[in-house]
Structure 1
Amino acid sequence: MRKKRVLLLSEGFGSGHTQAAYALAAGLRQLSPDVQTRVLELGKFLNPVLAPLIMSAYRKTVGKQPKLVGMMYRTNYKRSFNRFTQLAIHRIFYTQTEQVIQQLKPEIIVCTHPGPNAAVARLKRLGLDVPLYTLITDYDAHGTWASPEVNHYLVSTPVVKRKLMERGIPPARIEVTGIPVHPQFWQVQNQAEAQRELGLKAMPTVLVMGGGWGLMEEEDEFITYMTRWREEVQLIFCTGTNGKSREAMLEDPRFVHPNIRVLGFTKEISKLMDASDLLVTKPGGMTCTEGMSKGIPMLFHKPIPGQEEENLEYFIRSGFGEMLHSSGTIDKWFRMIQQPYSSGEYRQTLMSKRNQQYDPLECPTAVLRLMH
C-alpha cells in the first residue's frame, strides 16, 4: 500500500517558513507512519541560481534597512495577490511547479509561504485537483496569504482567523491549530539533565538567539551589557548562520569567559531551551512558538518591523515575555533567575498558560484529519 504523500512548499525568506514546514513534516511522520513528506523551498529548487541572489539581497535589506522592510510590509498589508501578480510570480519563479506536482503526486500540498501558495492557487484555478492547505507561520495575516483557491487555512490564533475572515475567507475554511514545532519541542527535559548533556555548568543560564540568520551584533549595547553578568549567569549566544558575527564575538575579550559560549548554527536548540532559565530572542514566529512550547520566559529584542512586531504584541499580551527596553530589564530578569523558587514558579505558570492556549500536536493532527 502506497504511503500518503504530503508536499510542503516554502521559501527561504528568513528561516521560519521552512522551519515550520519541516516541523509539520516531522510531526506528521511521528503521528502517522503511513505518511511520506517532502519539503521544498520551491523558488530555490526551480531557480538554483536566481533564488539565492534574491535571498541574499533580502537578507542584507533586513540587516541594514529593517524600516524599509516594515514599510513594504505595511504598504501591501491589505492586498492579496491579484491574477496579474500571480501570473507574474508564476512566470518568473514557478514555471515548472505543475511538473513538480505531477512528478511527486502528493495527496495534499501544504504551503508555508505566500509565494508558493499563490503559484499553487493559480494552478488550482486552472484545473489542478490537489487540496491546498495554507499554514500561516506568524501571528498576523498579511493580505498576500489570502486566496479563494485555498481549501483550508491553519492559523496560530483566533485573531489571525478574524483577519482572514475580514479578507473574505469563509470561517469554515480556517482552523486555529497553532504553529507546529518539531517533535523535539513537544516535551520538556529536566534542566539539570540537559545542562549535563550539553556540558554546561549547573547555574542560572540565559540563551540569546539572533534568529536563523543570526541577526546579532557584538557591539549591540544590550548584548555587551549581558556580559557584565558572566560571573553569576551562564550565557549562551547562538549566532545561527552568521559566521562573521560569531568570529567577531570570539575575538572580543568580553565574550571570552568560562561561563560564556558562542555557538553558530546548531540543531540543539530544543535542549538548549531546556537547559536555560531565560530566552532572549528576536520575535520570529517559529522561535517564539518553540519557546512557548517549552514554557521558557522570553525577552524580545529588535523586532523586524512588520510581522515580528505583531508576534511581539501577541506574546507580551499573552504573558509569555517582555520587551527588552533597557539594561534595567536585563538586571531584573537576571536577578530573578538566580532565585530558583521564583524562576521555577514562573516557568510552571508559563507551562500552565501554554497548556491552555497551545497544543503542539494540534496542527499535525488537524492535517491528518483533513487528509482522511
Structure 2
Amino acid sequence: MRKKRVLLLSEGFGSGHTQAAYALASGLRELSPAIKTRVIELGKFLNPVVGPWITSAYRKTVSKQPKLVGMMYRTQYNKSLNRFTQLALHRIFYTQTSQVISQLKPDLIVCTHPLPNAVVSRLKRLGLDVPLYTLITDYDAHGTWTSPEVNKYLVSTALVKKKLMSHGVPNSRIEVTGIPVHPNFWTTYDKTELQSQFELSPLPTVLIMGGGWGLLSRNSLFEYMTRWRDSIQMIFCVGTNVKARESMLSNEKFCHPNIKVLGFTKEISKLMDVSDLLITKPGGMTCTEGMSKGIPMLFYEPIPGQEDENCEYFIQNGFGEMFQKDTVEHWFSLLQEPYAAGQTRRDLLTKRNQYYDPMQCPRAVLEMMP
C-alpha cells in the first residue's frame, strides 16, 4: 500500500519557518512511520542563486532598518498579498512548483511561510486538487497568510484564531494546534552529562541566542552581563555569523573560561537543558522551543510587528520578561540561589503543561489527513 506523502514548503526568512516545517515532518514520522515527508525552502530550491540573495537582503533590512519593517508590517496588516506580488510569484515559481508537485505527488501540502502559501493557492485556483494547510509560525496573524484556497489553518493560540477570523477566515477552517517543535525538545537530557559534553562547569548557566543576525554586538547589556562571569556561565550562539563571533572573541570582556561563543549548532535542545536562563530574540519558533523546555526567557530587540506580538504573548502568560538592566540583575541574582532557580523552572514546566502540548500539531494533522 502506498505511503501517505506530505510536502512542506517554507522560506528562509529567518530560520523559524523552516524549523517549524522540519519539526512537523519529524513529529508526523514519529507518530506514524507510514508517512513520507519532504521539506523544501521554495525560493532557495528553485532559484539557488537569487533565493539566498533575497533572504540576505531581508536580514540586512531587519538588522539596519527595523522601524521600516515594522511600518510595512502594520500598514499591510489587514491585506493579503497584492495582485502584483501574486503575479510576480506566479511568473517566477508557477511552472517549477507545479513540476515539483507533479513529481512528488503529495497527498497534502503544508506551507509555513506566506510566499509558498500564495504560490500553491494560485495553483489550486488553476486546478490543483491537493489539500493545502497553512501553519502560522508566530503568535499573530498577518493578512498575507490568508487565502481562500487554504483548506485549514494551523495556529498557535485561540487569540491567533480570533485574529484570523477578523480577516474573514471561517471558524471551521482554523485549528488551534500550537507551533510544533522538533521531537528533540520533547525529552529532557541529563544536565551533568551535558556539562561534560559541552565542557561546562557546574555553574548557573545563561544561553544567549540570536547572534546570527549580528545584533548581539550592538547591545551594551551583553557586555554589562560579563561582570558576573566569575559566578555565572554564559553561552553565546551566533549561528553562521563568523564576523560576530570574531568580534566577540576579540573583546577581552568575552575572553573568560566561563564564557563560550559558539557558531552554528544543531544542539539547541541540549543547550536549553543545560542552561538556567534563555536570552533571545522573540521569534515564534525559538520562544515555543523555550516554552517546551520550561526555561525562563528574556527578550531583546523584537522586530516591530510579529516579534512584538510574540513578546506580548509570552510575557502576559508568565514565560518571560524584557531584557533590561533590572531584569538581568534580578535573574542573575536568582540563578545563584539553586533552590529558587530550580523551583522557577518546575513552575514553568507546570505552566507549560497547561498551555502547550508539543504533540498536538502533528497529531491534529494526522487526524485531518485526507
Please indicate the TM-score interval, normalised by the length of the shorter structure. Answer: over 0.9
Task: Please name the residue that 2:226 is paired with.
Answer: 227
Counterpart CA distance in 1 for 2:339 and 2:179 is 31
Counterpart CA distance in 1 for 2:54 and 2:81 is 19
Task: Please name the residue that 2:347 is paired with.
Answer: 349
- Assess if the C-alpha contact under 8 Å between 1:236 and 1:260 holds in 2: yes
Task: Please name the residue that 2:256 is paired with.
Answer: 257
Amino acid at match of 1:311: N
Task: Please name the residue that 1:304 is paired with.
Answer: 303
- Aligned pairs for 1:223-302 (under 5 A) are 223-302=222-301
- Assess if the C-alpha contact under 8 Å between 1:4 and 1:107 holds in 2: yes
Residue 366 (structure 2) pairs with residue 359 (structure 1): no
Amino acid at match of 2:235: I
Task: Please name the residue that 2:317 is paired with.
Answer: 318
Task: Please name the residue that 2:175 is paired with.
Answer: 175
- Assess if the C-alpha contact under 8 Å between 2:280 and 2:297 holds in 1: yes
Q: Secondary structure at the match of 1:203?
A: coil
Q: Secondary structure at the match of 1:178?
A: coil
What's the CA shift for 1:198? 2.1
- Assess if the C-alpha contact under 8 Å between 2:94 and 2:123 holds in 1: no
Comparing 290-299 with 216-225, greater Cα deviation is found at 216-225
| TM-score, with length taken from structure 2 | 0.97
What's the CA shift for 1:192? 2.7
Q: Secondary structure at the match of 2:366?
A: helix
Task: Please name the residue that 1:202 is paired with.
Answer: 202
What's the CA shift for 1:193? 3.0
Instruction: Show structure 1 runs of 5+ residues with no match.
Output: none
Task: Please name the residue that 2:73 is paired with.
Answer: 73
Counterpart CA distance in 2 for 1:198 and 1:142 is 40
- Assess if the C-alpha contact under 8 Å between 1:134 and 1:153 holds in 2: yes
Instruction: Show structure 2 runs of 5+ residues with no match.
Output: none
Amino acid at match of 2:43: G
Task: Please name the residue that 1:56 is paired with.
Answer: 56
What's the CA shift for 1:86? 2.0
Comparing 269-278 with 68-77, greater Cα deviation is found at 68-77
- Quickly say closer, same or farther: Cα 1:283–1:203, change in 2 above 3 A: same
What's the CA shift for 1:347? 0.7
What's the CA shift for 1:93? 4.0
Counterpart CA distance in 1 for 2:100 and 2:298 is 42
Task: Please name the residue that 2:367 is paired with.
Answer: 369
Counterpart CA distance in 2 for 1:238 and 1:92 is 35
What's the CA shift for 1:219? 4.7
What's the CA shift for 1:188? 2.0
Residue 117 (structure 2) pairs with residue 117 (structure 1): yes
- Assess if the C-alpha contact under 8 Å between 1:238 and 1:264 holds in 2: yes
What's the CA shift for 1:72? 1.1
Counterpart CA distance in 2 for 1:219 and 1:311 is 22
- Quickly say closer, same or farther: Cα 1:51–1:94, change in 2 above 3 A: farther
Counterpart CA distance in 1 for 2:149 and 2:40 is 21
Q: Secondary structure at the match of 2:216?
A: coil
Amino acid at match of 2:345: R
Counterpart CA distance in 2 for 1:368 and 1:148 is 23
Counterpart CA distance in 2 for 1:205 and 1:27 is 29
Counterpart CA distance in 1 for 2:93 and 2:72 is 20
Task: Please name the residue that 2:3 is paired with.
Answer: 3
Task: Please name the residue that 1:14 is paired with.
Answer: 14
Counterpart CA distance in 2 for 1:216 and 1:249 is 12
- Assess if the C-alpha contact under 8 Å between 2:80 and 2:145 holds in 1: yes
Task: Please name the residue that 1:27 is paired with.
Answer: 27
Task: Please name the residue that 1:147 is paired with.
Answer: 147
CA RMSD of aligned residues (A): 1.3
Post-superposition Cα deviations, 1:139-197, rounded to whole Å, max 9, x if no partner, equal 00000001111011100011100011111111111011110000000122233332233
Amino acid at match of 1:368: L
Amino acid at match of 1:271: K
What's the CA shift for 1:84? 4.9
Counterpart CA distance in 1 for 2:29 and 2:218 is 43
Post-superposition Cα deviations, 1:263-291, rounded to whole Å, max 9, x if no partner, equal 01101100000000000001000100000
Identity of aligned residues (%): 71
- Assess if the C-alpha contact under 8 Å between 2:17 and 2:137 holds in 1: yes
Moved over 4 A (4+): none
Residue 189 (structure 2) pairs with residue 189 (structure 1): yes
Post-superposition Cα deviations, 1:189-213, rounded to whole Å, max 9, x if no partner, equal 23333223322111100000016x3
Amino acid at match of 2:169: I
What's the CA shift for 1:250? 1.1
Match among 335, 338, 348 for residue 336 of structure 2: 338
